[in-house]
Amino acid sequence: MNAQTTDRTISNFIRALRNADVRVSTAETLDALSAVELVGYDDRDYLKRTLSLVLPKTADEKVTFDACFDQFFAFQDVRGEAEDALGESGDAEAQESEDGGDGEGGGAGGDRQAQPGGKRKKSKSKNKNNLFEEEEEEDLGPGDMTDPKSALGKLLMANSRVELAVQMSAAGEAVNIREIQIFTQKGLYARRIMDQMGLADLNQEIADLRQAPAVPARRLGQQLKARRDFLREQVRDYVEQQFLLNADVSGKRLREELLRKVKLSNVEHRNFRLIQEIVYKMAKKLSTLHSRRKKVFKRGQLNISRTLRNNMSYDGAIFNLHWKSVKVDRPKVFAICDVSGSVANYARFMLMFLYSLDEVMPKVRSFAFSSDLAEVTELFNRNKIEDAIAKTLRDYSGGSTDYGQALLDFKKLCLDDIDNRTTIIILGDARNNFGEAHAEVLKELYDRSKRVIWLNPEARLAWNTGDSEMRKYGAYSHQVEECNSLMHLERVVGNLLRQTN
């Protein structure tokens, strides 16, 4: 039963970890169990260190793990002084077995020590049967305080916070605390957990003790009462945590799902952080997908020198053939972003996305313009992504949009750097304020580069209306996409990686 409680606590904890986006596999769960078996629950820090070696597998996950662990195994000491209490309870234990060898109490106490957390129900029933007999022994007992009789009382007096936490989560499990969905259920669940932990017995015992004639027993009654109240608070906290761990997460999932689809210009400022997280997550997914450097084998073209070299050991007999293979370069991306008011928000998230992918796309150069264009690559290399984006928007977003001028600037700046491996991504609504479009510049870029992708945040219906030059520019783009949500962005970048790899 003890092993089961342990198993359940750990697997609940792992559930909470998974909720917090730490990936834990079944194999790792088994590892965690065997590690815990080795380490035990006595030392909280030790347990934390151990689990943190087994479960989280990146530095980021470790941070999440720390927070989760603290929340999950958070349990105040019943009196606030753990070490002393442990020593004392050890002493009490020794005394008990010394003088109460024949009584049921001594036996039960030994039981508790040997199998922490186990046999709760059994000892409870024992207590009920032998209540009277034990009372007598209690009165005779030496020391300031008598030993508690109810299972919960013992637990409280034992002062092991981890033990208490284990019991509490076991009780929580029994009343299906994880089903908690709305905050009004908190009181109900707290009550149920207390009941499950044996509140009725404890209350009975306290009532009995308070009427007991002997001083030590009454003192115990007072202690127990204080600790019961403390426990009640703890249980309330525990329910609160469980509510946060279980109920809130599904809410967060839902919110993330919504934010992926919502138009980026409509995102409220308070959601920026969350969006950032999503962007990183999406970028992470894409980079793991594409971090494998793929080799394209051109079967049919023999790599003669390599074949000869590798077959030398076979006395020159050529039976191990090597084919020419082409290592595909990582995409070289030039991102040109319109950062004027109407498009700034989209530019923000696209830049964020591109730079979060630096693991698979190390060669991103970025340019920002509203009327004049400038390169902001250095800014991104030197600053954190968020800071760089803020600076870019601050410095370049003034002025009315002039795509023609921007293209000319771009041509002047780095036409020479564009070769047939370059992908140019232009993000903008192509609203040129009726200025000169200079589509011929784009044609030149189109001819030189591998791909020109134009991302337009406007809905397709609005293209080519008013001052939009989408038709002219679209002619010289390999791909024209409507792009106004994270989902679109993910698709575009995913395609980019797939095609260039």
Partner 1 sequence: MFDFALVEQVRIHDLRFAFGPTATLSPKLPFFGLPTIECAYGRSMADIETIAASVATLKDGFEEHRYICSDEIATAVFLAYQLRKPVLIEGPPGVGKTELAKTAAEMFSLPLVRLQCYEGLDESKAIYEWKYGKQLLYTQVLKEALDEVLQGAKGFAQSVTKLHEFGDIFFSEEFLEPRPLLKALREENGCVLLIDEIDKADHEFESLLLEILSDYQVSIPEIGTIKAAAEPPIVFLTSNNTREISDALKRRCLHLYIPFPDVEVESKIIGARVPDVPPELQRQLVEFIHELRNLDLKKLPAISETIDWARTLVLLHAESLEPQLVKDTLNVILKFQEDIDNVHSEVNSLTAKIAK
Kindly indicate which of the ranges 34-42, 66-74, 123-131, 233-241 contains the residues binding partner 1, using the contact rule CB under 8 A.
Answer: 34-42
User: In 3D, which of 331, 363, 364 has the Cα closest to residue 496?
Assistant: 331
Selected binder of partner 1 within 9, 13, 41, 56 (CB under 8 A): 56
Q: Could you say whether residue 288 binds partner 1 (CB under 8 A)?
A: yes
Residue 59 CB, nearest approach to partner 1 (Å): 5
Per the listing, tokens 């000869």 go with 308
Output the CA–CA distances (angstroms, integers) from residue 481 to 146, 404, 440, 485, in the order listed. 78, 20, 21, 12
Kindly indicate which of the ranges 229-237, 257-265, 288-296, 372-380 contains the residues binding partner 1, using the contact rule CB under 8 A.
Answer: 288-296
Q: Could you say whether residue 491 binds partner 1 (CB under 8 A)?
A: no
What is the Cα–Cα distance from 431 to 464, expressed in whole angstroms?
Answer: 9
Kindly indicate which of the ranges 51-59, 90-98, 131-139, 251-259 contains the residues binding partner 1, using the contact rule CB under 8 A.
Answer: 51-59
Instruction: Check if the beta carbon of residue 138 is closer than 8 Å to that of residue 182.
Output: no
What is the Cα–Cα distance from 351 to 435, expressed in whole angstroms?
Answer: 26
Of 23 and 253, nearer to partner 1 (C-beta) is 23
Of 255 and 382, nearer to partner 1 (C-beta) is 382
Kindly indicate which of the ranges 135-143, 307-315, 366-374, 419-427 contains the residues binding partner 1, using the contact rule CB under 8 A.
Answer: 307-315
DSSP state of 330: P
Selected binder of partner 1 within 10, 35, 82, 413 (CB under 8 A): 35
Q: Which of residues 311-350 bind partner 1 (CB under 8 A)?
A: 313-315
Give the neighbor-by-neighbor strand order of the sheet with 332-338: 373-375, 363-369, 332-338, 422-427, 451-456, 479-482
Selected binder of partner 1 within 8, 10, 15, 52 (CB under 8 A): 52
Across 321-389, the runs of DSSP E, i.e. the strands, are: 323-327, 332-338, 363-369, 373-375
Q: Which pair of tokens denotes residue 55?
A: 């479960």
Kindly indicate which of the ranges 182-190, 284-292, 454-462, 486-494 contains the residues binding partner 1, using the contact rule CB under 8 A.
Answer: 284-292
Of 3 and 312, nearer to partner 1 (C-beta) is 312
Q: Could you say whether residue 501 binds partner 1 (CB under 8 A)?
A: no
Q: Could you say whether residue 358 binds partner 1 (CB under 8 A)?
A: no
Instruction: Check if the beta carbon of residue 126 is closer than 8 Å to that of residue 111.
Output: no
User: In 3D, which of 30, 48, 26 has the Cα closest to residue 39?
Assistant: 48
In whole angstroms, how large is the CA radius of gyration of the chain? 34
Chain centroid to CA 188:
29
What is the Cα–Cα distance from 432 to 444, expressed in whole angstroms?
Answer: 19
Q: Could you say whether residue 25 binds partner 1 (CB under 8 A)?
A: yes
User: In 3D, which of 367, 332, 339 has the Cα closest to residue 448?
Assistant: 332
Of 286 and 373, nearer to partner 1 (C-beta) is 286
User: In 3D, which of 254, 278, 423 has the Cα closest to residue 352?
Assistant: 278
Of 70 and 419, nearer to partner 1 (C-beta) is 70
Residues 6+ apart with CB under 8 A from 385: 351, 352, 355, 356
Of 28 and 205, nearer to partner 1 (C-beta) is 28
Q: Determine the size of the site formed for partner 1 (CB under 8 A).
A: 29
Of 35 and 274, nearer to partner 1 (C-beta) is 35
Q: Could you say whether residue 83 binds partner 1 (CB under 8 A)?
A: no
User: In 3D, which of 297, 298, 363, 300 has the Cα closest to residue 333?
Assistant: 363
Of 38 and 182, nearer to partner 1 (C-beta) is 38
Selected binder of partner 1 within 23, 121, 309, 471 (CB under 8 A): 23
Of 294 and 460, nearer to partner 1 (C-beta) is 294
Q: Which pair of tokens denotes residue 104?
A: 């049921």
Of 66 and 84, nearer to partner 1 (C-beta) is 66
Q: Could you say whether residue 293 binds partner 1 (CB under 8 A)?
A: yes
Residue 306 CB, nearest approach to partner 1 (Å): 13
Beta strands 373-375 and 323-327, pairing class: unpaired
Residues that bind partner 1 (CB under 8 A): 23, 25, 27-28, 31, 34-35, 38, 45-46, 49-50, 52-54, 56-59, 62, 287-288, 291-293, 313-315, 359
